[in-house]
Structure 1
Amino acid sequence: MQFNINYFKLSFLLLAIEIFIAMYVQDAIIRPYVGDYLVVILLYCMIKSVLDADSLAVAIWVLLFSYTLEIMQYFKIVEIIGLESYPLANIIIGTSFEWIDLAAYTLGILTVLIAERRQFK
């Protein structure tokens, strides 16, 4: 474990943006798709802020984690485990599967990998 202040600052900024989007943006593009695009970048930065792990490994883990949550939404996991009456569970786990969300996650991770590659050149 190794704390990285730069990834931590970026995590904090992305979290603030995600909260702003969740609270104040009610549209058909930014909230559902930009939020999904940014959330994988947020997760990546949060992990990299505390772990000095290989960038590709972290990116793949975040992408697989995100895909898993999305697939769990397809199977209505929130209802299966009885958390549908808890708003926080609905927000964190999600309640509706969409194929385009998988694309948003993938684009977010590709952005991370491109940024990491450019930073280390």
Structure 2
Amino acid sequence: MIFRFSWKYLLLTLALFITEVLIALYMHDGFVRPYVGDFLVVILVYCFVCTFLQAPVVPVGIGVLLFAYMVEILQYFNMVKHLGLQHSRLANIVLGNHFEWGDMLAYTLGILSILLLQRRQAALHT
């Protein structure tokens, strides 16, 4: 693992963050907001980590996935309420407020997409 700064990953992080904000503000459906947003959020976190670290894809992907699982498990235990933040819109958006297995699947598919894209990109450059 090497500390470094990547403009490419920073720009991807910013684009994904803007996309996530737009989804949170304007999408009020039963698919894009809950599942596409969760699919993209792990990619956003992966890109954020890669903005500052040069590390193998699989360990970073697994770390991001475990982090996402942890956040979802905290939702199961209603951590926002236990922290006294149940009235905070930001806390409810960022941390979420209820557990869903579909979210776990969306996180997993997001990381699998990263792994497949990175593998394909590596194969094209060899």
Question: What is the TM-score of this pair, normalised by structure 1?
Answer: 0.97
- Structure 2, unmatched stretches of 5+, are none
Quote the residue 1:46 is aligned against.
48
Aligned ranges for residues 1-121 of structure 1 at < 5 Å? 1-121=3-123
Q: Percent identity?
A: 49
Distance 2:12 2:121 in 1: 15
Distance between the aligned counterparts of 2:96 and 2:27, measured in 1? 17
SS in 2 for 1:120: helix
Unaligned runs of 5+ in 1: none
- Letter matched to residue 40 of structure 1: V
**Separation in structure 1 between the aligned mates of residue 121 and residue 64 of structure 2, nearest angstrom:** 20
Give aligned pairs, total.
121
TM-score after normalising by structure 2? 0.93
- After TM superposition, give the deviation of residue 37 of structure 1 in Å: 0.2
Distance 2:120 2:7 in 1: 19
Q: Distance in 2 between matches of 1:116 and 1:110?
A: 10
Distance in 2 (CA, whole Å) between partners of 1:86 and 1:16 is 20
CA RMSD of aligned residues (A): 0.7
Q: Which amino acid aligns with 1:92?
A: V
Query: Where do 4+ consecutive residues of structure 1 move more than 3 Å?
Result: none
Shift of 1:90: 1.0
